[in-house]
């Protein structure tokens, strides 16, 4: 193959990869149906969200930062992590934060087996229902994945999928807070949903840079006249539904 042909093939491959990313993983993609990443334009409000927890002591440290500033946020939690730290989940809810469903195991392979992801969502609903006395209506798929079957399953279950903008592409890997916060503030436009990580997948990890980045971001946005709301408030949807008592298998 000539150099020109190799370059052409590489360009085509890159375009296909970018297209697939946009359809299945982009925060903005609505290709398969509604998957909101922001609310209405207008008021200077943003919704802070946190994925992959609870993960102590960092989830509680973030909650303390938010409490000191009168901010409420939305925490999309992994079922197996909730089982490890149920008191943290209960503490967040008691403080006025909203809890959402972020799957049971945070494993990509559950998307590849028919019904597996639905089972993870249902099991996490059970776990959170036991802790909270009610079940979330808000769901965020790990890695913001979306496909027709997944969105249809959520719709049938009366659940609302929630996307958002990552505060920084490398925040999950714990780069310096001084790099994360400016990017997060730059992405904060009226109605934006911003994603931080208080955990990492379903495993505990050090999130000290995220804690500091949250402090810097909240202080910076407050100085710019922003208010903070929870996702249900931003989108005008219910946060919870009554707990469903499921028969034991």
Q: Which helix (H) or strand (E) holds 59?
A: helix 58-68
Mean pLDDT of the chain: 91
Q: Model confidence over 59-117: pLDDT tens digits?
A: 999 999 999 999 999 999 999 999 999 999 999 999 999 999 999 999 888 877 878 99
Evaluated on CA atoms 224, 225, 228, 233, the torsion sign reads negative
- Average pLDDT of the residues in 126-154: 95
Segments making up each domain of the chain, as ranges:
8-241
pTM: 0.92
Both tokens of residue 214?
Answer: 């949250």
Percent of the chain with pLDDT over 90: 74
Instruction: Write down the pLDDT at residue 11.
Output: 52
Higher pLDDT, 248 or 128: 128
Instruction: Write down the pLDDT at residue 249.
Output: 59
Both tokens of residue 131?
Answer: 């802790």
Percent of the chain with pLDDT over 70: 91
For the cut 80, the answer to whether the pLDDT of residue 169 exceeds it is: yes
pLDDT interval class at 26 (50, 70, 90): confident
Q: Which CATH number fits domain 8-241: 1.10.630.10, 1.10.10.60, 3.40.50.300, 3.20.20.370?
A: 3.20.20.370
For the cut 60, the answer to whether the pLDDT of residue 14 exceeds it is: no
Q: What is the CA radius of gyration of the chain?
A: 19
Higher pLDDT, 9 or 46: 46
Lowest mean pLDDT among 4-8, 76-80, 127-131, 180-184: 4-8
Both tokens of residue 244?
Answer: 């469903």
Instruction: Write down the pLDDT at residue 32.
Output: 85
- The values of phi and psi at residue 174, to 5°, are 65, 50
| Residue with tokens 């982009």, as numbered in its chain | 26
Instruction: Write down the pLDDT at residue 6.
Output: 59
- The gap between the terminal CA atoms of the chain, to the nearest Å, is 59
Higher pLDDT, 245 or 183: 183
Lowest mean pLDDT among 36-45, 74-83, 134-143, 152-161: 36-45
Instruction: Write down the pLDDT at residue 12.
Output: 47
Q: Model confidence over 177-210: pLDDT tens digits?
A: 999 999 999 999 999 999 999 999 888 899 999 9
Q: Are 195 and 164 in contact (CB under 8 A)?
A: yes
Evaluated on CA atoms 249, 138, 63, 107, the torsion sign reads positive
- Average pLDDT of the residues in 148-174: 95
For the cut 80, the answer to whether the pLDDT of residue 158 exceeds it is: yes
Evaluated on CA atoms 96, 97, 101, 105, the torsion sign reads negative
For the cut 50, the answer to whether the pLDDT of residue 246 exceeds it is: yes
Compute the distance between CA of residue 35 and CA of residue 220 in angstroms, rounded to an integer. 28
């Amino acid at each position: 193959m000539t150099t020109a042909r190799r370059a052409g093939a590489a360009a085509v491959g890159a375009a296909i990869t970018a297209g697939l990313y946009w359809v299945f993983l982009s925060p903005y993609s609505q290709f398969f149906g509604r998957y909101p990443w922001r609310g209405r334009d207008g008021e200077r409000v943003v919704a802070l969200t946190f994925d992959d927890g609870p993960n102590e002591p960092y989830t509680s440290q973030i909650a303390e930062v938010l409490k000191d500033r009168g901010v409420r946020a939305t925490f999309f939690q992994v079922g197996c992590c909730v089982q490890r730290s149920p008191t943290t989940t209960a503490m967040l809810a008691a403080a006025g934060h909203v809890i959402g469903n972020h799957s049971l195991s945070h494993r990509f392979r559950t998307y590849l087996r028919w019904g597996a992801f639905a089972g993870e969502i249902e099991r996490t609903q059970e776990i959170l229902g036991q802790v909270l006395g009610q079940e979330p209506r808000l769901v965020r798929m790990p890695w913001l994945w979306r496909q027709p079957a997944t969105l249809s399953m959520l719709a049938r279950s009366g659940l609302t999928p929630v996307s958002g903008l990552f505060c920084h592409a490398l925040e999950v890997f714990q780069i310096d807070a001084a790099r994360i916060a400016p990017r997060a503030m730059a992405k904060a436009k009226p109605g934006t949903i911003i994603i931080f990580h208080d955990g990492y997948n379903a495993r505990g990890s050090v999130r000290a840079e995220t804690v500091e980045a949250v402090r810097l971001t909240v202080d910076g946005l407050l100085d710019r006249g922003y208010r903070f709301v929870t996702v249900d408030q931003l989108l005008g949807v219910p946060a919870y539904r009554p707990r469903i008592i499921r028969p034991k298998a």
